[in-house]
């Protein structure tokens, strides 16, 4: 009986470690996604920007609510026309919750010579081995 209990205990520990490893934040994948997005934003590549989102993603911004990758792509076209440049992001919190990663951070850029900044939250999932944004909310900081 003790050998069977030990086997069950080992199995439970292995399952717990496996589940724990799945819930860990893949910081390298998140950093790569952000790096790719920032570079695309700074060169005005709305197609690459939109690819950071799942097909059915939702993006909430001061300009409105955009549902689906095509609507998100169109929202980025309007944002690029504003002329925001020197865009960057700073992810300050990443927390795994089951299959999701919840990110919180800040963003900044310039409109002309004036600094422009705000905050974001993003719910990220793994899709096809890549990190993709399922839902994002973006705010603009008060002056």
In the chain, what are the domain boundaries?
A: 25-140
CA distances from 45 to 41, 117, 129 (A): 6, 20, 22
In words, the CATH class of domain 25-140 is: alpha beta
Nearest residue to 104 via CA among 73, 132, 138, 65? 138
Total number of residues shown for the chain:
143
Full pLDDT tens readout for the chain, 143 residues: 454 433 333 333 333 333 333 444 577 888 888 899 999 999 999 999 999 999 999 999 999 999 999 999 999 998 889 888 999 999 999 999 888 999 999 999 998 999 999 999 999 998 877 889 999 999 999 88
């Amino acid at each position: 009986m003790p050998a069977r209990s030990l086997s069950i205990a080992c199995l439970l520990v292995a399952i717990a470690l496996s589940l724990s490893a799945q819930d860990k934040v893949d910081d390298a994948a998140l950093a790569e996604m952000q790096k790719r997005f920032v570079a695309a934003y700074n060169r005005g590549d709305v197609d690459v920007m939109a690819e950071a989102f799942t097909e059915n993603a939702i993006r909430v911004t001061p300009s409105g609510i955009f549902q689906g990758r095509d609507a998100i792509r169109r929202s980025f076209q309007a944002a690029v026309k504003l002329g925001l440049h020197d865009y960057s992001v700073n992810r300050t919190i990443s927390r795994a919750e089951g299959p999701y990663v919840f990110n919180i951070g800040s963003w900044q850029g310039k409109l002309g010579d004036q600094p422009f900044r705000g905050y974001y939250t993003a719910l990220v999932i793994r899709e096809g081995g890549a990190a993709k944004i399922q839902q994002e909310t973006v705010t603009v900081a008060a002056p």
